[in-house]
Amino acid sequence: MSKPKKDRVSTSRSDPVPVVIIGNGPSGICLSYLLSGHMPYVKPDAAHPHPLLHRKLAEASGRCLLDQDLDYLSEGLEGRSQSPVALLFDALLRPDTDFGGTADSVLSWKRQKERAVPHLVLGRGPPGGAWHAIEGSMVTLSQGEWMGLPDLQLKDWMRRKRRGLRNSRATAGDVAHYYRDYVTQKGLSHSFVPGALVTGVEMGTPQPKDAGPLFQVSGMLTTKDRGQRPFSLWARNVVLATGTFDNPARLGIPGEDLPYVHHELSVLEAATRAGTITPASDPVLIVGAGLSAADAVLYARHCGLPVIHAFRRPVDDPGLVFNQLPKMLYPEYHKVHQMMREQSVPSPSPYEGYRSLPQHRPLLFKEGQQAVLCDPHGHHQVLGVSLVLVLIGSHPDLSFLPGAGTSLATDPEQPLSTKRNPVEVDPFTYESTRQEGLYALGPLAGDNFVRFVQGGALAAASSLLRKETRKPP
């Protein structure tokens, strides 16, 4: 370990920090845990239900997982992720969860301080990342047990907090609290720097004495007295773990910047709390047919607000996300889908105050809180609204990278997209194929569920640990 520094976010080129992680959500937290000397081993008496994996694990009994061949171990695994290492780590943490089982993890954890890799985790807010920005009562899409991090199951944490799961799912507030507590309980706080906004990551000019690439990471740090000061540090490796909620997707139409048009559910929550929007107000226009839009519909209905729900797809489009969710696990989302179908034509129904407009496109937003929409036949419709929520997805904000990171994408000619065009990484190290020393985790690398982002952290930690082992004294 390098000696402690008085100023953690100011390092010189001659003494760079080995790893800087940008983003303090689940990906960054999991990687920090692994880099802090917490080493995973397969339990000596463990019997994994997957026969081939069980045989491979037995071949290297007693050897740390981070030192094994992840490519070999993950070969032949199948599941709900395209990442082989994500499937491997998930299979070790939750051996039979896809079959409804509750088998314990086959991993045990040993703290080996001498193998820790010094690192810093930079985040805009407290540990947990975007989970702190989600309305606390919202329930998670994934099952609660899949939201947990290594060696501290969410259900055990909630039991100690005397909290319970709802239909096997946790609330966003509980998950955010759990991630913050995890950092404290696992002794990781000294590596976390909250209030750090990264504004630039640049490659240093190579010099003969440099052992590999060097990055200069700069930005603004919010101090305890809420002031701001710039910071700059040098790092041998940079890990991008910023998630995908930074840049809400926009319609790109006139009037989208008017003060009554917004792109975050939190604005509606604040307006209802302040009493500026009430059940007597004009309708709230919600644009989008994904889960964020469904959450907004559920929240507005809970508050008794009138809603107009516009979306470009037909209600029976098989590509709608609701068709991919089991009804038993996600009854509230299927209720929204039912409302979308039944209220798509004017008729008496139990959903008073809700109106569905399938295959409608917003054309422009006008002064005086008027929205102009185009129906499937090309006719225009003007609606008076109190507020507009455009919830059609989001994009990662990599504006701190040269060219906003587009050169790192699988197709550099197209915009970076977590679903269609993620950062291209080596599947067994998560290091960028285009820039040595630069890693990407989570949605940036195409892993969109907490359950599977941890495999990327395992792959990156294995790679970074090997680099540190090879580093000359």
The confidence score (pLDDT) of residue 4 equals: 37
pLDDT digits (tens, 9 = 90+) for 116-148: 999 999 999 899 887 767 766 666 655 656 778
Task: Write the CA distances from 290 to 50, 116, 258, 304, integer angstroms.
Answer: 35, 41, 23, 21
pLDDT digits (tens, 9 = 90+) for 169-189: 677 778 888 999 999 999 999
pLDDT digits (tens, 9 = 90+) for 276-307: 999 999 999 999 998 889 989 999 998 999 99
Asked if residue 2 has pLDDT above 70, the reply is no
Among the residue ranges 215-229, 260-274, 341-355, the one predicted with the least confidence is 341-355
On average, the pLDDT of the chain sits at 86
- pLDDT band of residue 320 (cuts 50, 70, 90) is confident
Which residues have CB under 8 Å from 4's CB, separation 6+? Answer: none
Report residue 6's pLDDT band, with 50, 70 and 90 as the boundaries.
very low
For 363-405, what is each residue's pLDDT tens digit?
Answer: 999 999 999 999 999 999 999 999 999 999 888 889 999 988 9
User: At a CB cut-off of 8 Å and minimum separation 6, what does 366 contact?
Assistant: 255, 372, 382
57 pLDDT more than 50: yes
What type of residue is 314? P
pLDDT at 5 over 50: no
Give the pLDDT confidence of 212-244 residue by residue, as tens digits.
778 999 999 988 778 889 999 999 999 999 976
* CA atoms of 259 and 108, how far apart (whole Å): 53
Report which secondary-structure segment, H or E, holds 176.
helix 172-185
pLDDT at 309 over 80: yes
The segment with the largest mean pLDDT, out of 96-105, 170-179, 254-263, is 254-263
Residue 321 one-letter amino acid: V
What is the band of 114 on the pLDDT scale with cuts at 50, 70, 90?
very high
What does the DSSP 8-state code read for residue 468? H
Confidence at residue 346, expressed as pLDDT on a 0 to 100 scale? 57
